[in-house]
Structure 1
Amino acid sequence: MTSAAPEPPFSTPPPWPQCGHGATADDPVGCRGIHVPGHSACLAHLDEDDRAAYLAGLAPGADIDHRGTPFTPDLLARLLAALRDPAIGKPRTGDVQFDEATFSGNARFVGVVFSGNASFSEAVFSGNAWFNNAALSGNASFDRTVFSDIASFGEAVFSDSATFGEAVFSGEAWFNEAVFSGNAWFSGVVFSSDARLAAVFSGKAWFSGAVFSGNAWINKATFSGDAAFDGTTFSRDVGFSGATFSGDARFGAARFEMASRLGPLACGGRVVLDGAVFQQPVTVEIAAHQVSCARTRWASAATLQLRYAELDLRDAVFEYPVVVAARPTPFPLSAPGDLLPETELPGLDPGVRLSTVGGVDAAHLALHDIDLSGCRFAGAVHLDQLRVDGWCTFATTPAGWSRRFPWRWSRRTTLAEEHHWRVRTARHPALARGWTPPPEDAPALRPTAVAALYRQLRKSLEDGKNEPGAAHFYFGECEMRRRDTDGTPWSERALLTAYWALSGYGLRASRALGWLGVAMTVTLAVMVLWGLPAKDPRPTVTGRQVAVGQDVAWTTDTPDPVNPTGPWSERVTGERVEKALRVVINSVVFRSSGQDLTTAGTYTEMASRLAEPVLLGLAVLAVRSRVKR
């Protein structure tokens, strides 16, 4: 009789007719192996003659049920030899049940063809478990199975669903080039050593709650359906290099304790890192439609290099500097010239768009080459310390002309929050044309709140020596203050309105120069028509000689300028225009022309000497804001 493998004691008997061999007072249940049909013992404890007769009666494709049976390597080999199909040269089974079976030594199921369902739930493999090249056509269940040493499923084919829920892999787990055509459940699995999962998952793959105590090598794995790693713990390094996901890849609340790199991976759907924790410096490389990092905690420095993605950083926690950058070229893999395939992302713009940083402390956040046109900054703190480098773009004002005032918006960089405010407060649909409407979850902000966002981001750009960009945000800040009817006094709003109308808050040189041209033209016209006297007054000398040899007293007097009274054709002459032009030019540089003027001309010159230098100064200020370095 073949010696049986030791089996752990159970306090309750199984639901099938059990062998009971070896029952004692301490172990009243004994062997849990199911009876061999027609006998009262399991296969391991059956008499040798009866065992031989049973095995001889098996045929390829037969259904077998050996739940709870203890197997030695020899007994397993004899069972599989009895099921060997001469046509294919491999063992072939129908439905098999090895639930709670124990396998001492090495268990070799290499190349076995499981034509029906295969159940190994709660089985215990004390040695190595070899399932290489096995073909499992039906449902395969390894729930709560214990693999004490190496578990190898290399190139195994799972044609239907495969479940490894809460299984324990104490040794290395190899799934290289395995194929999962149906759904694959690895929820709650514990990988105590290195795990190699470079497999093909055609259905959904669940690794939720799994624990990888060793290295997790999932390089070049293919997930055709959704893949869930929610709550998974990666205690050591993790490799997803070259992994591709056709559906969503979920890493919600996952823990990366020692991972130095995540990716590069490609995803045709969403990569969800909500609530994930990265405890060591890490580089994340992802090409995906969407990447969500809501409530993600970065406990060390990190670099996110992305392609194609719309990124959500809502409520993320940055304890150390984190750089988010758009990668312009495909990610390289380990082999020279080998690039990450992006077949799931055909024909898309590889740029990266940031959707929100609400709830983020931006003091440790740096953005490089990111599209910020739709980004919502409301709710973030320390935006004045945000680093914006490279080719980062913001939203702009609408282009083109309108039939309603203002007929044309001044072209400038704006925040998404101003777009949302404009749409919400537009009194006519025409005023909202060209502005981006707010999403449903966007909060309704007052102008003073939008002005605060502009002020903080302006400081950030100024610290980054981006003075022209900061000037756009100064315009936006002033615009919101001018529109704020709750917190800004009317006198301040009136002053801001004048400042906006004359020079675009000191940022529109063309507007200031236009008003300067208008002022100079008006001054010139007034001078020509009313400011210059009809004739230049000539000094008159008067006096009287009292006696010869006495002092003579003479008086010189200049008569008052005479207002012109003739027709306009007589007033508008080349000479008068030339004199008026001198007055205007001197007024621009705050100088007196010294020209004799009428009373109207004198007051006009005084007004122009005040207004025109101010307009010139505003124009110079606007030019300076554009070229300041």
Structure 2
Amino acid sequence: MTETDCTSNDCPANRLPDTSRCLEHATEEEFTLFVESLHPGKVLVFQRTNIHANRLNVILETLRSESGEIHIGRAFFEHSTLHGIIKFKGVTFQGIANFRECVFTQPAHFESCTFKGNAQFSGVQFQRFTRITNNRFNKDLTFRNATCGEGVGFTGSELCGRADFSDAEILRIGKFSQIVWHSSVNFSRAKLVDCSFNSSIFAGGLTARDAEVSGKFQMQGVEVKDVINFEGSSFSDLTFMGPLAVAGTLKINDCNWTGRGRISVSAHRFDMSRTQFEDPIEIRVRNSITRAEGVRFGKPSLLTGEADIFHFATSEGARGNLSEDGLHPKKIRSHPMLVSLRSSDVTNLTIAHFDLSTCSFAETNNLDLLRLSGNPIFSQTPKRLRFRRGRRPSVWWSSRQVIDEERQWRSAQGWAGWSGADARSPSAETVSQLYRALRSSHEAAGDGPGAADFYYGEMEMRRHSRGTPRAERAVIFLYWMLSGYGLRAGRASIGFITTLLSLSLISLLFGFHGISPSYVEVTVYWASCMLSLRGGDADLTDHLTIAGETVRISLRLLGPFFIGLALLAVRNRVKR
């Protein structure tokens, strides 16, 4: 016992001024003398004290000024237990407000209060539902290790300093709505049950690393001027994250999600790498650069881009538009970008309305089961001839979709017009396997034309792969040159015309004896041989030399061959 402790039954509480007893044990006369000594702005020291609501109410009324406001200088309530319904309504704490390790046994109300100094609620225990509404915190708020057994309604407030809710436990209902957080907010390692963060503004970002979120979690109509970080957190039951507007990055990487969920976000960047989604998840992204490396989708899930601004239901039930003021000032993307699916399991994933031009598919598991819809955007081949010193000149490229891995490979090989090589540039064989998986994905969905470009890319990489036998590479080269792997009708047509004209010229010189037909007559004759079952003009046929007969047999074979390649290319482009 110290000189300031109560003398009643070894009570550890602070004694009242000019008495030997604490607030709980003071006689009525001692309590009256204490109250009479009070004035607005007085410092209150009730440490390790059992405080009952009836005496606290009398003290607060005594501190009310002529303007009707209650003013407390500094308040020290740490390690105290407050009994009864506690109401701090319209109170101005002019200095520090210290409620560390306090226990509130009945409902507590902090309404329309102003905290001009730091507000300390570390380790506090609210055993019943607590209302902290319409308050203003001018400096830091600390709720570290606090426990709200029956929930908390933290709404309509403004916080100018940092807010620390790390390791807090909201065990039933947590309403954090219509709040303006001017500085950083920390919910790391917090346990949140049935919590909602609606219609709020986080000017300094939100961190909730390794948090445990369960029950129904809502976070809609929220604007974040910095970063949201849920790294390493777990979500269970039902989760509705969004719509959110995030100027920085939304991080939900290394998380574990069980139960259905929906995420709607407009952010500069969105990272969900190494997260496990055990149940169906619907992720709607607007205007973001998205990364999804090492993600597992355990049940059918959707990752889709959104072109329109998100809407949400306000607290009044009206339809609100998510504000994106100040976000993405330079460019609004028609399709959000997905930059990586590396090492993810996409067995149950559908991707729609995304820009996949820079997406890395390397090491993606079950890529052939990925479903793509909504006209995803891929990179395109270079549009024109390019020459650059020290690099291979680019050729004339037929227009087709290409994946980022081919772009990296060609850049690493020195092809002009291709950019993107890095230290992890894949081999041609690896790129071929990725194209094969994406082709299978489109074919399984009945999208033959969509699979055509991926088939072309697969054959291109097989043609360049050192793992392909030389004989097979030679056959693939001819297939590419004559018909673009059965996908370029123009090449087959050019082959048909070139063969006809060149052999017509040769036969004009060596193919006939006894007559001298014109080049046009010879060309028409050979064309009829190629296209007709009759074999062409009988007069010219009777004057064929051995060389001419050889040309006739060759053209009778090559004509249907080139026509077949052209028809095959047309069919591959239009079939469903």
TM tier, smaller: over 0.9
Q: Give the match for residue 55 of structure 2.
A: 75
Once residues 580 and 184 of structure 1 are traced to their aligned partners in structure 2, the CA distance between those partners, rounded to angstroms, is 87
Q: Give the match for residue 456 of structure 2.
A: 475
Q: What is the Cα deviation at residue 164 of structure 1?
A: 0.2
Once residues 234 and 44 of structure 1 are traced to their aligned partners in structure 2, the CA distance between those partners, rounded to angstroms, is 39
Q: What is the Cα deviation at residue 20 of structure 1?
A: 5.2
Does residue 84 of the first structure (1) align with residue 64 of the second (2)? yes
Q: CA RMSD in A?
A: 2.1
1:20–1:527 CA distance, 2 compared to 1 (3 A): farther
For 1:270, what is the secondary structure of its paired residue? strand
Once residues 37 and 533 of structure 2 are traced to their aligned partners in structure 1, the CA distance between those partners, rounded to angstroms, is 117
* Paired letter, 2:574: V
Q: What is the Cα deviation at residue 350 of structure 1?
A: 4.8
Q: Give the match for residue 28 of structure 1.
A: none
For 2:553, what is the secondary structure of its paired residue? helix
Residue 370 (structure 2) aligned to one of 386, 399, 410: 386
For 1:116, what is the secondary structure of its paired residue? coil
Residue 457 (structure 1) aligned to one of 427, 432, 438: 438
Q: What is the Cα deviation at residue 78 of structure 1?
A: 2.4
Once residues 405 and 333 of structure 1 are traced to their aligned partners in structure 2, the CA distance between those partners, rounded to angstroms, is 53
Residue 398 (structure 2) aligned to one of 393, 410, 418: 410
**Structure 1 residues 506-515 or 345-354, which shifts more?**
345-354
Once residues 463 and 221 of structure 2 are traced to their aligned partners in structure 1, the CA distance between those partners, rounded to angstroms, is 53
Q: Give the match for residue 143 of structure 1.
A: 122
Q: What is the Cα deviation at residue 233 of structure 1?
A: 2.2
The aligned runs of 1:220-239 (5 Å cut-off) are 220-239=199-218
Residue 179 (structure 1) aligned to one of 158, 177, 197: 158
Q: What is the Cα deviation at residue 64 of structure 1?
A: 2.6
Contact map agreement 2:500 2:526 (CA 8 A) in 1: no
Residue 604 (structure 1) aligned to one of 533, 546, 551: 551
Once residues 7 and 296 of structure 2 are traced to their aligned partners in structure 1, the CA distance between those partners, rounded to angstroms, is 58
* Paired letter, 2:404: A
Q: What is the Cα deviation at residue 173 of structure 1?
A: 0.6
Once residues 51 and 318 of structure 2 are traced to their aligned partners in structure 1, the CA distance between those partners, rounded to angstroms, is 47
Q: What is the Cα deviation at residue 202 of structure 1?
A: 1.0
Q: Give the match for residue 301 of structure 2.
A: 322
Once residues 260 and 139 of structure 1 are traced to their aligned partners in structure 2, the CA distance between those partners, rounded to angstroms, is 33
The aligned runs of 1:369-448 (5 Å cut-off) are 369-403=353-387, 405-426=393-414, 431-438=415-422, 443-448=424-429
In proportion to residue count, which structure has more strand? 2
The aligned runs of 1:24-423 (5 Å cut-off) are 31-86=11-66, 88-198=67-177, 199-213=179-193, 215-334=194-313, 335-346=317-328, 348-403=332-387, 405-423=393-411
Once residues 326 and 130 of structure 2 are traced to their aligned partners in structure 1, the CA distance between those partners, rounded to angstroms, is 32
Contact map agreement 1:471 1:507 (CA 8 A) in 2: yes
Contact map agreement 2:501 2:523 (CA 8 A) in 1: no
1:523–1:342 CA distance, 2 compared to 1 (3 A): same
Instruction: Summarize deviations over 1:57-92 as a string: whole Å, max 9, x none.
Output: 333223332211221112212222232222x31111
For 2:565, what is the secondary structure of its paired residue? helix
Does residue 625 of the first structure (1) align with residue 534 of the second (2)? no
1:166–1:470 CA distance, 2 compared to 1 (3 A): same
Residue 9 (structure 2) aligned to one of 22, 34, 44: 22
Instruction: Output the TM-score relative to the length of structure 2.
Output: 0.93
* Paired letter, 1:147: F
Instruction: Summarize deviations over 1:204-258 as a string: whole Å, max 9, x none.
Output: 1111111123x21221121111101222222211121212211111222222222
Contact map agreement 1:384 1:457 (CA 8 A) in 2: yes
Q: What is the Cα deviation at residue 39 of structure 1?
A: 4.4
Q: Give the match for residue 515 of structure 1.
A: 495
**Structure 2 unmatched ranges of 5 or more:** none
For 1:84, what is the secondary structure of its paired residue? coil
Instruction: Summarize deviations over 1:465-506 as a string: whole Å, max 9, x none.
Output: 221121111111111111111x11122112222222222222
The aligned runs of 1:523-562 (5 Å cut-off) are 523-535=503-515
1:462–1:65 CA distance, 2 compared to 1 (3 A): same
Q: What is the Cα deviation at residue 260 of structure 1?
A: 4.6
**Structure 1 unmatched ranges of 5 or more:** 1-12, 24-30, 536-570
Instruction: Summarize deviations over 1:401-449 as a string: whole Å, max 9, x none.
Output: 22354432221111111111112221xxxx24343344x6xx3321111
Instruction: Summarize deviations over 1:545-599 as a string: whole Å, max 9, x none.
Output: xxxxxxxxxxxxxxxxxxxxxxxxxx563xx632442223312567633412123
Q: How many residues align?
A: 562
For 1:283, what is the secondary structure of its paired residue? strand
Q: What is the Cα deviation at residue 528 of structure 1?
A: 2.5
For 1:219, what is the secondary structure of its paired residue? coil
* Paired letter, 2:327: L
Q: What is the Cα deviation at residue 611 of structure 1?
A: 3.0
For 1:197, what is the secondary structure of its paired residue? strand
Identity of aligned residues (%): 29
